[in-house]
Amino acid sequence: MIWLAMMLVVLALAGLGIWRWAMANQSVAMLDSVDRIFTGGDAVSLGEPAPYGEHPQQVIHLYGPPVTDDSEAWPVVVFIHGGGWRAGNPEDYAFVARNLAPEGFVVVNAGYRLGPDGKFPAMLEDGAAALAWVKANIAGYGGDPDRIYLLGHSAGAYNAAMLALDRQWLGREGLADDTIKGVVGLAGPYDFLPLDGESVELAFGDAPRIEQTQPVAFARGDAPPMLLATGTADTTVKPRNSKALAEALTAGGQPTKPVLFQDLSHEAIVMALSRPFERGGTVKRAILDFLHERETELDSGTVPSLPVQGETG
Protein backbone atom coordinates (compact mmCIF):
# COMPACT_ATOMS: atom_id res chain seq x y z
CA MET A 1 0.00 0.00 0.00
CA ILE A 2 2.85 2.41 0.76
CA TRP A 3 4.39 1.72 -2.65
CA LEU A 4 1.06 2.36 -4.38
CA ALA A 5 0.56 5.58 -2.42
CA MET A 6 4.00 6.84 -3.42
CA MET A 7 3.34 6.00 -7.06
CA LEU A 8 0.13 7.98 -6.90
CA VAL A 9 2.01 10.91 -5.39
CA VAL A 10 4.58 10.76 -8.19
CA LEU A 11 1.92 10.73 -10.88
CA ALA A 12 -0.03 13.52 -9.24
CA LEU A 13 2.99 15.76 -8.80
CA ALA A 14 4.15 15.08 -12.34
CA GLY A 15 0.78 16.23 -13.58
CA LEU A 16 1.03 19.46 -11.55
CA GLY A 17 4.49 20.34 -12.83
CA ILE A 18 6.54 18.67 -10.13
CA TRP A 19 9.66 20.81 -10.19
CA ARG A 20 7.93 24.18 -10.13
CA TRP A 21 5.72 22.94 -7.33
CA ALA A 22 8.70 21.62 -5.42
CA MET A 23 10.79 24.75 -5.73
CA ALA A 24 7.86 26.96 -4.76
CA ASN A 25 7.31 24.88 -1.64
CA GLN A 26 10.99 24.23 -0.85
CA SER A 27 10.30 20.51 -1.29
CA VAL A 28 13.11 19.27 -3.49
CA ALA A 29 13.77 16.94 -0.56
CA MET A 30 10.45 15.26 -1.25
CA LEU A 31 11.47 14.66 -4.85
CA ASP A 32 14.71 13.17 -3.59
CA SER A 33 12.71 10.82 -1.37
CA VAL A 34 10.70 9.65 -4.37
CA ASP A 35 13.89 9.00 -6.31
CA ARG A 36 15.30 7.01 -3.38
CA ILE A 37 12.39 4.58 -3.68
CA PHE A 38 13.19 3.93 -7.34
CA THR A 39 16.97 3.73 -6.98
CA GLY A 40 17.30 1.99 -3.62
CA GLY A 41 20.91 1.72 -2.48
CA ASP A 42 22.54 2.80 -5.74
CA ALA A 43 24.87 5.26 -4.00
CA VAL A 44 26.60 5.23 -0.66
CA SER A 45 26.89 8.24 1.62
CA LEU A 46 30.53 8.71 2.52
CA GLY A 47 30.00 10.05 6.02
CA GLU A 48 28.73 13.22 7.61
CA PRO A 49 28.59 16.50 5.65
CA ALA A 50 31.96 18.22 5.62
CA PRO A 51 32.31 21.98 6.16
CA TYR A 52 34.81 23.87 4.04
CA GLY A 53 34.14 27.23 5.69
CA GLU A 54 32.46 28.83 8.67
CA HIS A 55 29.15 29.77 7.04
CA PRO A 56 26.46 27.07 7.50
CA GLN A 57 25.92 26.87 3.73
CA GLN A 58 29.60 26.20 3.10
CA VAL A 59 29.23 22.43 3.31
CA ILE A 60 29.57 19.45 1.04
CA HIS A 61 27.91 16.04 0.94
CA LEU A 62 29.85 13.06 -0.41
CA TYR A 63 28.62 9.90 -2.13
CA GLY A 64 30.37 6.95 -3.71
CA PRO A 65 29.61 3.88 -5.84
CA PRO A 66 27.74 1.09 -4.02
CA VAL A 67 30.68 -1.27 -4.57
CA THR A 68 34.20 0.05 -4.17
CA ASP A 69 37.59 -1.32 -5.09
CA ASP A 70 40.21 -0.12 -2.64
CA SER A 71 42.88 -0.36 -5.32
CA GLU A 72 41.09 2.11 -7.58
CA ALA A 73 40.56 5.83 -7.14
CA TRP A 74 37.31 6.96 -8.71
CA PRO A 75 36.93 10.13 -10.81
CA VAL A 76 35.05 12.89 -9.02
CA VAL A 77 31.97 14.86 -10.05
CA VAL A 78 31.29 18.04 -8.08
CA PHE A 79 27.62 18.99 -8.46
CA ILE A 80 26.50 22.59 -7.90
CA HIS A 81 22.76 23.09 -7.48
CA GLY A 82 20.60 25.84 -8.94
CA GLY A 83 17.99 28.03 -7.28
CA GLY A 84 18.70 31.52 -8.56
CA TRP A 85 21.61 32.04 -6.12
CA ARG A 86 19.06 32.43 -3.34
CA ALA A 87 17.64 28.96 -2.69
CA GLY A 88 18.67 25.31 -2.61
CA ASN A 89 20.26 22.72 -0.35
CA PRO A 90 22.92 20.30 -1.62
CA GLU A 91 21.52 17.53 0.57
CA ASP A 92 18.22 17.65 -1.30
CA TYR A 93 20.00 16.84 -4.57
CA ALA A 94 21.23 13.45 -3.45
CA PHE A 95 19.29 12.03 -6.40
CA VAL A 96 22.05 13.37 -8.68
CA ALA A 97 24.63 11.29 -6.80
CA ARG A 98 22.30 8.33 -6.60
CA ASN A 99 22.08 8.23 -10.39
CA LEU A 100 25.73 9.01 -11.23
CA ALA A 101 27.76 7.26 -8.52
CA PRO A 102 26.86 3.74 -9.74
CA GLU A 103 28.53 4.66 -13.03
CA GLY A 104 31.88 4.84 -11.25
CA PHE A 105 32.14 8.33 -9.76
CA VAL A 106 32.55 9.85 -6.34
CA VAL A 107 29.94 12.61 -6.30
CA VAL A 108 30.31 15.74 -4.20
CA ASN A 109 27.25 17.96 -3.74
CA ALA A 110 28.64 21.38 -2.88
CA GLY A 111 26.69 24.09 -1.12
CA TYR A 112 27.50 27.79 -1.29
CA ARG A 113 26.32 31.03 0.29
CA LEU A 114 22.91 32.15 -0.96
CA GLY A 115 20.83 35.31 -0.95
CA PRO A 116 22.33 38.47 0.59
CA ASP A 117 25.33 36.50 1.88
CA GLY A 118 25.97 35.07 -1.57
CA LYS A 119 26.23 38.15 -3.76
CA PHE A 120 28.84 38.09 -6.53
CA PRO A 121 31.59 37.06 -6.14
CA ALA A 122 30.77 35.04 -2.99
CA MET A 123 29.33 32.10 -4.93
CA LEU A 124 32.56 31.80 -6.90
CA GLU A 125 34.78 32.22 -3.87
CA ASP A 126 32.82 29.39 -2.25
CA GLY A 127 33.03 27.20 -5.33
CA ALA A 128 36.80 27.59 -5.44
CA ALA A 129 37.10 26.91 -1.71
CA ALA A 130 34.99 23.78 -2.08
CA LEU A 131 37.21 22.61 -4.93
CA ALA A 132 40.30 23.23 -2.81
CA TRP A 133 38.77 21.04 -0.08
CA VAL A 134 37.99 18.32 -2.61
CA LYS A 135 41.48 18.46 -4.09
CA ALA A 136 43.07 18.14 -0.64
CA ASN A 137 40.74 15.55 0.89
CA ILE A 138 38.92 13.48 -1.72
CA ALA A 139 41.56 10.74 -1.81
CA GLY A 140 40.43 9.81 1.69
CA TYR A 141 36.97 9.10 0.28
CA GLY A 142 38.14 6.96 -2.64
CA GLY A 143 38.25 9.80 -5.19
CA ASP A 144 41.03 10.81 -7.55
CA PRO A 145 42.10 14.43 -6.90
CA ASP A 146 43.56 14.60 -10.40
CA ARG A 147 40.23 13.81 -12.09
CA ILE A 148 37.71 16.38 -10.96
CA TYR A 149 34.71 17.39 -13.09
CA LEU A 150 32.07 20.04 -12.48
CA LEU A 151 28.35 19.56 -13.07
CA GLY A 152 25.88 22.36 -12.47
CA HIS A 153 22.27 23.23 -13.13
CA SER A 154 21.00 26.76 -13.77
CA ALA A 155 22.75 29.09 -11.28
CA GLY A 156 25.03 26.17 -10.45
CA ALA A 157 25.97 25.85 -14.12
CA TYR A 158 26.93 29.52 -14.09
CA ASN A 159 29.15 28.91 -11.05
CA ALA A 160 30.76 25.91 -12.74
CA ALA A 161 31.44 27.78 -15.99
CA MET A 162 32.97 30.77 -14.23
CA LEU A 163 35.21 28.58 -12.09
CA ALA A 164 36.47 26.87 -15.24
CA LEU A 165 36.87 29.99 -17.38
CA ASP A 166 37.99 32.85 -15.13
CA ARG A 167 41.38 31.74 -13.82
CA GLN A 168 41.39 34.07 -10.83
CA TRP A 169 39.03 31.96 -8.69
CA LEU A 170 41.11 28.78 -8.69
CA GLY A 171 44.27 30.86 -8.48
CA ARG A 172 43.14 32.47 -5.24
CA GLU A 173 42.98 28.99 -3.70
CA GLY A 174 46.36 27.98 -5.07
CA LEU A 175 44.81 25.53 -7.52
CA ALA A 176 46.29 24.86 -10.94
CA ASP A 177 44.44 25.89 -14.09
CA ASP A 178 43.96 22.25 -15.04
CA THR A 179 42.33 21.22 -11.76
CA ILE A 180 38.96 20.98 -13.54
CA LYS A 181 39.08 18.30 -16.24
CA GLY A 182 35.68 19.02 -17.74
CA VAL A 183 32.42 20.89 -17.17
CA VAL A 184 28.80 19.90 -17.72
CA GLY A 185 26.40 22.83 -17.66
CA LEU A 186 22.66 22.18 -17.60
CA ALA A 187 20.51 25.16 -18.58
CA GLY A 188 23.11 27.65 -17.45
CA PRO A 189 22.96 31.46 -17.70
CA TYR A 190 26.21 32.48 -19.39
CA ASP A 191 25.30 35.72 -21.19
CA PHE A 192 22.55 37.57 -19.33
CA LEU A 193 23.18 41.30 -19.63
CA PRO A 194 21.40 43.56 -19.03
CA LEU A 195 20.31 42.19 -15.67
CA ASP A 196 16.64 41.34 -15.68
CA GLY A 197 14.85 39.83 -12.69
CA GLU A 198 14.99 39.86 -8.92
CA SER A 199 17.41 36.95 -8.53
CA VAL A 200 20.08 38.30 -10.86
CA GLU A 201 19.67 41.83 -9.51
CA LEU A 202 20.23 40.57 -5.97
CA ALA A 203 23.19 38.41 -6.96
CA PHE A 204 24.98 40.74 -9.38
CA GLY A 205 23.52 44.23 -9.01
CA ASP A 206 26.38 45.46 -6.81
CA ALA A 207 29.19 44.17 -9.05
CA PRO A 208 31.50 47.11 -9.89
CA ARG A 209 32.29 45.78 -13.38
CA ILE A 210 29.16 44.02 -14.47
CA GLU A 211 30.63 42.74 -17.75
CA GLN A 212 33.16 40.77 -15.70
CA THR A 213 30.35 38.66 -14.24
CA GLN A 214 29.60 36.99 -17.58
CA PRO A 215 31.10 33.62 -18.56
CA VAL A 216 31.15 34.60 -22.25
CA ALA A 217 33.70 37.28 -21.36
CA PHE A 218 36.22 34.61 -20.32
CA ALA A 219 35.79 32.03 -23.07
CA ARG A 220 39.18 30.70 -24.17
CA GLY A 221 40.52 27.89 -26.27
CA ASP A 222 42.50 26.26 -23.46
CA ALA A 223 39.56 26.05 -21.06
CA PRO A 224 38.40 22.61 -19.90
CA PRO A 225 36.11 20.87 -22.41
CA MET A 226 32.48 21.76 -21.82
CA LEU A 227 29.21 20.00 -22.44
CA LEU A 228 26.57 22.74 -22.67
CA ALA A 229 23.13 21.16 -22.47
CA THR A 230 19.82 22.96 -22.58
CA GLY A 231 16.18 22.26 -23.35
CA THR A 232 14.44 23.85 -26.30
CA ALA A 233 11.39 24.49 -24.09
CA ASP A 234 13.39 26.36 -21.43
CA THR A 235 11.76 29.76 -20.87
CA THR A 236 13.60 30.47 -17.60
CA VAL A 237 17.18 30.45 -18.93
CA LYS A 238 16.76 30.61 -22.66
CA PRO A 239 18.86 28.33 -24.91
CA ARG A 240 20.56 31.39 -26.38
CA ASN A 241 22.82 31.40 -23.28
CA SER A 242 24.33 28.03 -24.16
CA LYS A 243 24.54 29.02 -27.81
CA ALA A 244 26.34 32.27 -26.94
CA LEU A 245 28.95 30.54 -24.78
CA ALA A 246 29.47 27.84 -27.39
CA GLU A 247 30.05 30.52 -30.02
CA ALA A 248 32.47 32.37 -27.77
CA LEU A 249 34.41 29.18 -27.03
CA THR A 250 34.55 28.37 -30.73
CA ALA A 251 35.82 31.84 -31.53
CA GLY A 252 38.45 31.42 -28.83
CA GLY A 253 39.74 28.18 -30.33
CA GLN A 254 37.60 25.48 -28.73
CA PRO A 255 34.99 24.30 -31.26
CA THR A 256 31.79 23.71 -29.30
CA LYS A 257 28.08 23.48 -30.01
CA PRO A 258 25.35 23.19 -27.39
CA VAL A 259 23.34 20.03 -26.94
CA LEU A 260 19.69 20.92 -27.43
CA PHE A 261 17.18 18.52 -25.92
CA GLN A 262 13.88 18.80 -27.68
CA ASP A 263 10.88 19.89 -25.60
CA LEU A 264 12.74 19.80 -22.26
CA SER A 265 12.02 22.62 -19.82
CA HIS A 266 14.40 24.32 -17.40
CA GLU A 267 13.31 21.99 -14.63
CA ALA A 268 13.02 18.79 -16.67
CA ILE A 269 16.69 18.77 -17.70
CA VAL A 270 17.87 18.27 -14.11
CA MET A 271 14.90 16.09 -13.21
CA ALA A 272 16.23 13.77 -15.93
CA LEU A 273 18.99 12.87 -13.46
CA SER A 274 16.42 11.14 -11.26
CA ARG A 275 15.23 7.63 -11.98
CA PRO A 276 11.47 8.31 -12.21
CA PHE A 277 11.84 11.21 -14.63
CA GLU A 278 14.64 10.07 -16.96
CA ARG A 279 12.47 10.42 -20.06
CA GLY A 280 14.43 7.79 -21.91
CA GLY A 281 17.74 8.58 -20.25
CA THR A 282 19.05 10.83 -23.03
CA VAL A 283 20.29 13.59 -20.72
CA LYS A 284 22.03 11.20 -18.36
CA ARG A 285 23.55 9.32 -21.28
CA ALA A 286 24.93 12.51 -22.82
CA ILE A 287 26.54 13.45 -19.50
CA LEU A 288 28.02 10.00 -18.94
CA ASP A 289 29.30 9.79 -22.51
CA PHE A 290 31.05 13.12 -22.08
CA LEU A 291 32.61 12.11 -18.76
CA HIS A 292 33.71 8.69 -20.01
CA GLU A 293 35.22 10.22 -23.13
CA ARG A 294 37.22 12.60 -21.00
CA GLU A 295 38.35 9.70 -18.83
CA THR A 296 39.51 7.81 -21.90
CA GLU A 297 41.46 10.84 -23.09
CA LEU A 298 43.13 11.26 -19.72
CA ASP A 299 44.01 7.58 -19.57
CA SER A 300 45.55 7.66 -23.04
CA GLY A 301 47.31 10.97 -22.52
CA THR A 302 45.94 12.26 -25.80
CA VAL A 303 45.08 15.86 -26.53
CA PRO A 304 41.41 16.33 -25.61
CA SER A 305 39.02 16.00 -28.50
CA LEU A 306 36.99 19.11 -27.88
CA PRO A 307 33.27 18.43 -27.78
CA VAL A 308 31.15 19.30 -30.77
CA GLN A 309 27.51 18.65 -30.12
CA GLY A 310 24.19 19.33 -31.72
CA GLU A 311 20.54 18.60 -31.29
CA THR A 312 19.13 15.48 -29.74
CA GLY A 313 15.66 14.16 -29.21
pLDDT digits (tens, 9 = 90+) for 158-186: 999 999 999 999 999 999 999 999 999 99
By the 8 A CB rule, do 105 and 43 touch?
A: no
Go through the domains of the chain in sequence order and give each one's CATH number: 2-312 (3.40.50.1820)
**In angstroms, how far is CA 124 from the centroid of its own chain?**
14
Pick from 88-92, 254-258, 275-279: least confident: 275-279
Distance of alpha carbon 98 from alpha carbon 100, whole angstroms: 6
By the 8 A CB rule, do 64 and 42 touch?
A: no
pLDDT digits (tens, 9 = 90+) for 97-151: 999 999 999 999 999 999 999 999 999 999 999 999 999 999 999 999 999 999 9
The residue among 112, 134, 130 whose CA lies nearest residue 121 is: 112
| 269: amino acid identity, one letter | I
The residue among 224, 219, 138 whose CA lies nearest residue 180 is: 224
Residue 260's Cβ-count burial label (10 Å; 0-12, 13-18, 19+) is buried
